Structure 1
Amino acid sequence: MKILIAEDDAVASQILQLTLERMGHEVVVTRTGTEAWETFDRAPVRVVVSDWMMPGIDGLEFCHRVRARPNTPYTYFILLTAVNTGAENYDLGTEAGIDDFLTKPLDAIAIRMRLRVADRILWFTGEVHQLKQLIPICAYCHKIHTAEDYWQRFETYIKQQTGSEFSHGVCPDCLEGEMAKLRCAR
């Protein structure tokens, strides 16, 4: 798994990087929140491990930006915290979109556990994404069965979902078939 680290403490960053690499992960290291965001924005990753307090933007703002980035697959976001982080701060973190927290000093077993959870969550979000791509369509009339439990014309459904308009034409195969019907009707 490719993991982005955002940690301004060089020693903590190196320990985390080595730990993750020993676990078989590809690691991208950044030193500030701003650098982390720019790196993520150029090439999103599926897992972020970010310090809370960093130069530039902090971990919460970084998470806000990740969550607000359009057309981005779900990213599992782990926030590194100090030992004395209170419940109010955990509440702020989850409200910002943080998935999990790791307390410094970091422990390899705790990291491995969080990454197992991240792997499961990312797998499930992938499954949900695939299911959302399935469109239940009638094999006969081609109407779509909507989430509101009614059947809607294909063109109407696509227009509501995507804003696309249809221009109707006739493909060569259908034109030939219709012309054959007209010739037979004479």
Structure 2
Amino acid sequence: MSSKYKVHIVEDDRTTRRLLENVTSMLGYDVRSYEDGQEAWNSFELERPQIVISDWKIPEIDGLELCRRLRESMKESYTYFVLVSAQKRSKPNLEAAINAGVDDFLKKPIGSDDIWNRLRVAERILNFNHQVRRLESLIPICCYCKKVRNDGDLWEQIEQYVNERTGADFTHSICPTCMDTHVRPQMESYKKSLKDKQRASTD
């Protein structure tokens, strides 16, 4: 197991919370724990955890609302959310949890192996998500004409590509390096050709 991920535990039952703390800490994660949803939410906004293990029924803000808020606020990065519940996994409960954005479930009473298995899945999904985001950030660009390949596998000017995704417009200018390397030599060459023509016409 990797120690790079932050795990936040939200559980008001002390025995269950201690178990979750001990197992996740033993596996090398950076662990924080909270007794109520409001305290956890305040911490989420600052800490940005990668994994959250939360009981469904907790004071202040319940686990589903906690997950909903997290999904709405943390769109730039992904948090794997595990919901803990003593309730039976009925169809209405399952649909409510999935609609809130829950990724996985732990049923009470919780065993150490159950926690370990869920964390293994969480880490696998997070690693995959990171790889996908990294690949999405790569922009295929032609090394000759500098056109960019878009999502439809068509090549277009980089200005159009950026404008379609960000709304940004471009103004064209010339950088100092290109001015010295390209523009000034062309201007000097043009001036020289004019002088040569003038000289030829007077001879």
Q: Secondary structure at the match of 2:171?
A: coil
How many angstroms apart in 2 are the aligned matches of 1:85 and 1:29? Answer: 25
TM-score norm. by structure 1 comes to 0.94
How many angstroms apart in 2 are the aligned matches of 1:28 and 1:159? Answer: 42
Cα-to-partner distance string for 1:55-108 (whole Å, 9 max, x where unaligned): 111111111111111443111100001142323211211121111000011110
Q: Secondary structure at the match of 2:119?
A: helix
1:182 aligned residue (180, 187, 195) = 187
Q: Percent identity?
A: 39
Aligned to 1:20: 24
Q: Secondary structure at the match of 2:133?
A: helix
Instruction: Please report how far the alpha carbon of residue 165 of structure 1 lies from its aligned counterpart in structure 2 after TM superposition.
Output: 2.4
Name the stretch that deviates more: 160-169 or 35-44: 160-169
How many angstroms apart in 2 are the aligned matches of 1:70 and 1:2? Answer: 15
Matches within 5 A, 1:127-142: 127-142=131-146
How many angstroms apart in 1 are the aligned matches of 2:30 and 2:187? Answer: 65
1:116 aligned residue (117, 120, 141) = 120
Query: In the alignment, is residue 65 of structure 1 matched against residue 69 of structure 2?
Result: yes
Matches within 5 A, 1:164-179: 164-176=168-180, 177-179=182-184
Q: Which has the larger radius of gyration?
A: 2
Q: Secondary structure at the match of 1:98?
A: coil
TM-score norm. by structure 2 comes to 0.87
Runs of 4+ with deviation above 6 angstroms: none
Q: Secondary structure at the match of 2:52?
A: strand
Aligned to 2:100: 96
Q: Secondary structure at the match of 1:78?
A: strand
Query: In the alignment, is residue 3 of structure 1 matched against residue 7 of structure 2?
Result: yes
Instruction: Please report how far the alpha carbon of residue 46 of structure 1 lies from its aligned counterpart in structure 2 after TM superposition.
Output: 0.5
Instruction: Please report how far the alpha carbon of residue 164 of structure 1 lies from its aligned counterpart in structure 2 after TM superposition.
Output: 2.1
Instruction: Please report how far the alpha carbon of residue 37 of structure 1 lies from its aligned counterpart in structure 2 after TM superposition.
Output: 1.1
Instruction: Please report how far the alpha carbon of residue 128 of structure 1 lies from its aligned counterpart in structure 2 after TM superposition.
Output: 0.2
Gaps of 5+ in 2: 194-203
| Aligned 8 A contact 1:44 1:72 in 2 | no
**How many pairs align?**
186
Aligned to 1:46: 50
Query: In the alignment, is residue 32 of structure 1 matched against residue 36 of structure 2?
Result: yes
Instruction: Please report how far the alpha carbon of residue 25 of structure 1 lies from its aligned counterpart in structure 2 after TM superposition.
Output: 1.7
The CA RMSD measured in Å over matched residues stands at 1.4
How many angstroms apart in 1 are the aligned matches of 2:85 and 2:91? Answer: 12
How many angstroms apart in 2 are the aligned matches of 1:118 and 1:104? Answer: 19
